[in-house]
Amino acid sequence: MAEQTEKPRIAAVLLAAGESTRMGESKALLPWGGRPLIAHHVSALQEAGYGPLVVVLGHDAERIANAIPAHIPHDAAINPRYAHGRATSIVVGVLRLADASVDGLLIASVDQPRSVGMLRTLREGFERERPQIAVPSLDGRPGHPPLFSGGLLPELLQVTEETEGLRQVMRNFHDGRLLVPVDDPLTLTNLNTQDDYEAALKLAGG
């Protein structure tokens, strides 16, 4: 009888601690598919096969936490230093997984809505090839979110705003990057302003 191989553990950190200054209201609570955007993210990550899941909160933490579906297992981590930049939230999230023995770690942002299908395709591409970093690619253009090998957790714990956060890790391990072709039109989308949000809604509905 063939030996059973253990299913890889691909964790996810969802960053939702920022102040959404340019948007003018909480990005995490924007309506998306009939529910708050944070609820869409958490549900999509679970359905796409990611776990354990850490949601990093900061500004307006209680209200955003209350919008997360209670039935979906997740660890809500508070970043008291969220105003110091996104890198501080990455470190808080990764620290929660430091002892979890994960094979991979997705780092997603609440202002980058993605479909279940895209997230699943990215995970499956990573599991097949086991690169150091996998990123979704739309028409040859790399997008977000990045999925890192579990072996890079020590590197992720060292990110700072001064070294441009994840960009430095992406540069350091560029030769180990895998582009995973996807067909989600939102792959390159960031929700920074109301115009971005309206455009993304059209893409998602189209």
d(CA 50, CA 97): 13
Share the mean pLDDT of the chain: 93
pLDDT of residue 4: 43
Over residues 39-67, mean pLDDT: 97
| H/E stretch holding 110 | none
Strand-pair partners of 13: 54, 107
pLDDT of residue 1: 37
Say if residues 153 and 105 touch (Cβ distance below 8 Å): yes
Q: Is the pLDDT of residue 6 over 80?
A: no
SS3 state at 166: helix
| H/E stretch holding 153 | helix 153-156
pLDDT of residue 172: 93
Give the domains, in start order, of the chain with CATH numbers: 10-205 (3.90.550.10)
Of 13, 15, 11, 7, residue with least CA distance to 51: 11
Q: Is the pLDDT of residue 99 over 60?
A: yes
Give the rounded percent of residues in the chain with a pLDDT score beyond 70. Answer: 97
pLDDT of residue 5: 58
The b-or-e profile of 88-125 (16+ CB within 10 A means b, else e) is: bbbbbbbebbeeeebbbbbbbbbbbbbbbebbbbbbeb
Of 53, 109, 102, residue with least CA distance to 82: 109
